[in-house]
């Protein structure tokens, strides 16, 4: 069966059908990468993957990075477990266990952020826990020309604390990196906004008040629903996103219900460039 790519109808994202993620050919990988670059987010439904099969699937998009924390729910160093499941003594067995999470880019606080990620849904609550993606290429293109001119050549400082889900939970002594606030996607030449509410601290070369005001304005802009696709998870979904040009967030959900996701992180061979 040939692969079919169907846009979500939102500002970004597409559903990919006619593909079993356990059986990958070179032709499949090319089609998946084409859809990834065009739609920024791709979703495959009704998949049944082991951890090893998820890692092999992720390799369609690039080299797989090591996870910072090895979870007993996987035991692999190339799988990041995102879950609210806890041990008998109440210790979380996965990362980022609970509730809502502000818009962010994965690893923007590092010198060489990742290219993307593939997230696989194993258990999901009956309500909430959705993942929202903002199209940062579209958001940049929609800016007034005067704002684009103001951002040209600007860089921002980004930081993160590994357990933080909102800005007020951050430890300002955490890891940080400086990146262009507008970056270019190498394969397409498109320009993308590269900042987020959770992790971007300040724009260099601006007075603090001016930097804060502009960041608030830009964060409000990129979180406008017209730029967003909100994914409601089903068990068996595997979703891949381009971390260079999509910012994502998580909606709240009940801690009384289990949520179990497994992620492989797709590395990049280049630093963000303006």
**Is 79 exposed, middle or buried, given 0-12, 13-18 or 19+ CB atoms closer than 10 A?**
buried
Q: What tokens were used for 271?
A: 């630093």
pTM above 0.85, yes or no: yes
Q: Average pLDDT, stretch 230-250?
A: 98
Q: Average pLDDT, stretch 239-264?
A: 98
Please give the pLDDT value at position 170: 46
Please give the pLDDT value at position 80: 98
Please give the pLDDT value at position 19: 85
Which pLDDT tens digit goes with each residue over 136-192? 999 999 999 999 999 999 999 999 875 555 555 545 667 899 999 999 999 999 999
Compare 16 and 171 and report the one with higher pLDDT: 16
180-192: b or e for each residue (b if 16 or more CB lie within 10 Å)?
Answer: bbbbbbeeeebbb
Which pLDDT tens digit goes with each residue over 59-96? 999 999 999 999 999 999 999 999 999 999 999 999 99
Please give the pLDDT value at position 117: 98
**Is 205 a residue whose pLDDT tops 90?**
yes
Q: What tokens were used for 225?
A: 């629903």
Please give the pLDDT value at position 171: 57
Please give the pLDDT value at position 245: 98
**Is 104 a residue whose pLDDT tops 90?**
yes
C-alpha to C-alpha distances, 96 to 3, 38, 137, 158, 161, nearest whole angstrom: 33, 29, 27, 19, 11
For the chain, percent of residues with pLDDT exceeding 90: 92
In order of their start, the domains of the chain are 4-266 (3.60.130.10)
Which pLDDT tens digit goes with each residue over 25-65? 999 999 999 999 999 999 999 999 999 999 999 999 999 99
Helix H, strand E, coil C: the string for the chain is: CCCEEEECCCCCCEEEECCCCCCCCHHHHHHHHHHHHHHCEEEECCCCCCHHHHHHHHCCCCCECCCCCCCCCCCCCCCEEEECCECCCCCECCECCCCCEEEECCCCCCCCCCCEEEEEEEECCCCECCEEEEEHHHHHHCCCHHHHHHHCCCEEEEECCCCCCCHHHCCCCCCEEEEECEEECCCCCCEEECCCCCCEEEECCCCHHHHHHHHHHHHHHHCCHHHEEEECCCCCCEEEEECCCEEEEECCECCCCCCEEEEEEECCCCCCCC
């Amino acid at each position: 069966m040939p692969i079919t790519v169907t846009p979500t109808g939102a500002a970004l994202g597409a559903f990919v059908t006619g593909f079993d993620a356990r059986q990958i050919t070179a032709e499949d990988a090319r089609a998946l990468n084409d859809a990834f670059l065009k739609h920024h987010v791709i979703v495959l439904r009704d998949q049944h993957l082991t951890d090893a099969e998820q890692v092999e699937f992720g390799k369609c998009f690039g080299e797989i990075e090591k996870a910072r924390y090895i979870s007993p729910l996987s035991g692999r160093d190339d799988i990041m477990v995102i879950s609210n499941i806890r041990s008998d003594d109440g210790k979380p067995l996965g990362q980022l266990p609970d509730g809502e999470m502000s818009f962010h880019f994965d690893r923007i606080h590092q010198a060489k952020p990742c290219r993307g990620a593939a997230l696989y849904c194993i258990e999901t609550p009956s309500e909430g826990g959705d993942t929202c993606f903002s199209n940062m290429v579209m958001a940049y293109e929609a800016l007034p020309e005067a704002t684009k001119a103001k951002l040209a050549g600007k860089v921002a400082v980004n930081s993160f604390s590994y357990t933080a889900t909102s800005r007020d939970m951050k430890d300002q002594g955490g890891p940080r990196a400086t990146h262009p606030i507008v970056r270019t996607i190498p394969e397409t030449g498109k320009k993308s906004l590269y900042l987020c509410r959770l992790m971007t601290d300040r724009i260099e070369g601006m007075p603090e008040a001016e930097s804060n005001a502009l960041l608030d304005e830009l964060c409000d802009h990129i979180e406008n629903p017209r730029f967003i696709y909100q994914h409601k998870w089903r068990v068996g979904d595997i979703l891949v996103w381009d971390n260079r040009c999509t910012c994502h967030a998580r909606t709240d959900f009940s801690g009384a219900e289990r949520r179990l996701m497994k992620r492989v992180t797709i590395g990049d061979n280049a630093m963000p460039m303006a």
